[in-house]
Chain A
């Protein structure tokens, strides 16, 4: 029994969880505080990966990230490597796919932030940076934690998108869900069962943690 796909899934989930705040935080603040034309359009674009069938999203990404797509072409010019069928490729796909799952909880927690707190901070002469680290961040930790955990669990179970852009290369892009799918197709039900059994307690623990965070917030 080969555990590489499970380790690879965990690696993908951890990297997605670590990197996604970079992408999601500005989006969430923009959507929570921004007053601009086209806000609902941005909202829809950010939420799109949530409602699109993963295989459709995966196919779109395969085309964009392929060597003839603009992102894939640029990547190949800069790094000399191919973006699709690589770990970086599935990581980018995973970030796109997970964006709405990070933006929504972050946005909700930002919107719940008491504006009087921010006003007081400004009146008392706190710099915007200090306001962020001393007021915004501590107050939004719950939202951030919820987003991270949701993203972690979600990337752990990701299948359709990775299937399209990954190419199932052992040790590089063959994640647990794809390996389980292949084991079932090859009639290796024991392997499929063992890998699934290993995933269930992790997902269960994740749900327990989310519930705890939610309970503490209310």
Chain B
């Protein structure tokens, strides 16, 4: 047993860290994860380059980038942060790569077919998850929708806040929140298919911008990827996941 343990330890030490090296390193806002996971193999096949991506909230990725994280590009969930990186001279000019849509998702099939407003004000719905309204663009958009239809004050005591749109979905999918304001894309995940959703038409579309960083270790690969994003294959994938 002792021998096996020491052998394992030695093996761990010997694993070369270079094995994970990539030709392109993308910082991706969490909501776009399912789409990017399909785009990457297509791009790798077309270009022969190896792509690695980190999926986190836009705010966290931004914080890492201003502290010199070695990403090639940021694909944010908003326009604000890419614009700020551009203004601060840390990135090339941003471009819009997707427009996201907010949905109200629930694990409870009782709410299927209901209007989203009816579901959130329903007394049987005790907790509604939403992404942070200050830092997560999907959270801001969901808040604006509730304000637009005049139920914000009424619903506020029911709200629980996720750090990102993925956490809002996590709260709803574990059933801890009875319903949640999520990204349209989460509806297409394995878990998402088990529940039901209503599109929040009143929520302004979430304009998601991307930018190549000035400090990018692989600028050519990044340029190739940016071009690839406007191919019909990628457009089709975006529509498949509810983006415009």
Contacts and interface: CB of A to CB of B under 8 A. Distances in A.
Given A63-B174, A182-B132, A85 B57 contact: no
A68 B135 contact: no
B167 to A, nearest CB: 8
A56 to B, nearest CB: 13
Interface residues on A, range: 20 to 34
Contacts of B132: 168, 182, 185-186
A128 to B, nearest CB: 41
Q: Is the interface of A mostly helix, strand, loop or mixed?
A: loop
Contact of A169 (B63, B160, B175): B160
A75 to B, nearest CB: 12
Interface string A156-176: 000000010101110000100
Interface residues of B, number: 21
Given A82-B127, A85-B160, A168-B161, A184 B63 contact: yes
Nearest to A165: B176
B176 A62 contact: yes
A149 interface: no
A186 B60 CA distance: 9
B163 A181 contact: yes
Interface in B162-187: 162-163, 170-171, 174-177
B63 A168 contact: no
Contacts of A167: 127, 129, 160-162, 171, 176-177
Interface of A: 62-63, 65-68, 72, 82, 84-85, 163, 165, 167-169, 174, 181-182, 184-187
Interface of B: 57, 59-60, 63, 126-127, 129, 132, 134-135, 159-163, 170-171, 174-177
6 contacts: A67-B176, A85-B160, A168-B161, A168-B163, A169-B161, A185-B132
- Give the 4 A-B residue pairs with the shortest CB-CB distance, closest first: A167-B160, A185-B59, A66-B176, A168-B161
